[in-house]
Amino acid sequence: MTGGDDNPILRGLPLLGDLPPLDGTSVLVRVDFNVPLGVGERGAPTVTDDFRIRSALPTFRYLLERGAKVTACTHLGRPDGAPDARWEMTPVRDRLAELAPQVQLLDNLRFQPGECDNDPAFVDKLVNGHDAYVNDAFGVSHRAHASIVGPPKFLPSAAGLLLQRELEVLGGLLGLPQRPFVAVVGGAKVTDKLGVLTKLLDRVDALLVGGGMAFTFLAAAGHDVGASMVDHDQIDRCADLLAGDTPILLPSDIVALEPGAGYGCGFDQGQVVIVEDDVPAGWVGLDIGPATVKAYSEKIAGAGTVLWNGPMGVFEDDRFCAGTTGVAQAVAECRGFTVVGGGDSAAAVDAIGLADRIDFISTGGGASLELLEHGDLPGLVALRGAINAPARGTSRGRPSS
């Protein structure tokens, strides 16, 4: 499934083929190389997952093959507008040099306060010396940051191949997905996802809920949830969603941890039990149980399209990873079109070794949810305003490669 010519998100969006001739030009490419780091040889930081770097290579090749000089820019981590040794680009630059030695990489954008503030002076500094701009950073295109929304005001601009593919796939979910369309949504806070859940319920045939957010729904359905995570301010809203026409499946059994015990990486203490219907007082629900995994897997197996965003439990703790693993296996085995919406879900399918069995893994968790909720992103609006953008009503097709 792709967005095709009927994808409204692509209308008016300049693609790589809309750039002026590239031979001899200098092109600034905004990428999302906010990759996980670990400790390598001799204690030096190293990239532990280069998926996002590899995802940008087709755009780099397109530009280089047409004679352009390519300079990439990205953020890494959360430095507070000033240089921070923890987030130096050296390990990312080293890995990029192995994969695309002709591409130069600027210092961490967020070392500059003007990046997150969208400071015009910082935009001027970024575009200086460049002839064109490419946004290939879907994962941050929901941010109105200087490197995302600034350059298209001054340079011929385009969506990169990765960004375009993201829009084709996710735009297809907003258009005419194969039925039944099943969404599996997890993660910690229901507040962060109520907007997209409301939007999805207008489009999907079933919504399967897991993760910490499930307990607010369970509370809204009248269940006792013990000391599990609950957003009490959203219980009424969740009750309204449960009363709607679209089926919302909630966990029928829960993997719970006894009161006072710790969980997450490095914890292994405390009694763990599987409870049905209600969580005892003081206990904390941290994963969906085996009966829920079975029910969710059966629903996923019959789907024509599956969207999964968010883990089913605290999957970094081996005691509470079975729900996420079970859902990942079900999505991988589904014969329909499968999409994993970035973030922790993407990390989970990669860690389990199932990434190559998913039809599309998004590089942006928050961005994919915002696109599904709002149908547009600030980075896309900026590109449509570039001087080389096609007419707004123009339909766009497949990648320009």
The answer to whether the CB of 103 falls within 8 A of the CB of 131 is: no
CA 234 to chain CA centroid, Å, is 24
Domains 4-165 and 179-335 share a fold: yes
- Where exactly are the structural domains of the chain? 4-165, 179-335
The answer to whether the CB of 228 falls within 8 A of the CB of 281 is: no
Tokens of 95: 């890995």
Integer angstrom CA distances of residue 54 from 34, 79, 308? 12, 24, 22
Q: What is the pLDDT of residue 397?
A: 56
Residue 207, burial from CB neighbour count under 10 angstroms (0-12, 13-18, 19+) = buried
- Determine the Cα–Cα distance for residues 165 and 360; give it in Å rounded to an integer: 9
Q: What is the DSSP letter of 20?
A: P
Radius of gyration of the chain (CA): 22
The answer to whether the CB of 202 falls within 8 A of the CB of 181 is: no
The answer to whether the CB of 313 falls within 8 A of the CB of 281 is: no
Integer angstrom CA distances of residue 191 from 211, 212, 315, 323? 13, 11, 21, 22
Q: What is the pLDDT of residue 10?
A: 92
Percent of the chain whose predicted confidence (pLDDT) is above 90: 78
Q: What is the pLDDT of residue 233?
A: 94
Which positions are annotated as active-site residues?
Answer: 52, 189, 343, 366
Which of 91, 79, 48 is CA-nearest to residue 347?
48
Fold designation for 4-165: Rossmann fold (3.40.50)
- Determine the Cα–Cα distance for residues 170 and 375; give it in Å rounded to an integer: 9
The answer to whether the CB of 133 falls within 8 A of the CB of 127 is: yes
Tokens of 11: 């209308």
Helix (H) or strand (E) holding 29: strand 26-30
For the whole model, what pTM was predicted?
0.88
Within the chain, which residues score under 70 in pLDDT?
A: 1-6, 342, 392-401
- Select the CATH number that applies to the domain covering 179-335 from these four: 3.40.50.1110, 3.40.50.720, 2.160.10.10, 3.40.50.1260: 3.40.50.1260
- Determine the Cα–Cα distance for residues 166 and 90; give it in Å rounded to an integer: 28
Point out which residues pair with 183 in neighbouring strands. Answer: 207, 307
Tokens of 22: 């590239």
- Determine the Cα–Cα distance for residues 97 and 103; give it in Å rounded to an integer: 7
Which of 204, 148, 215 is CA-nearest to residue 367?
148
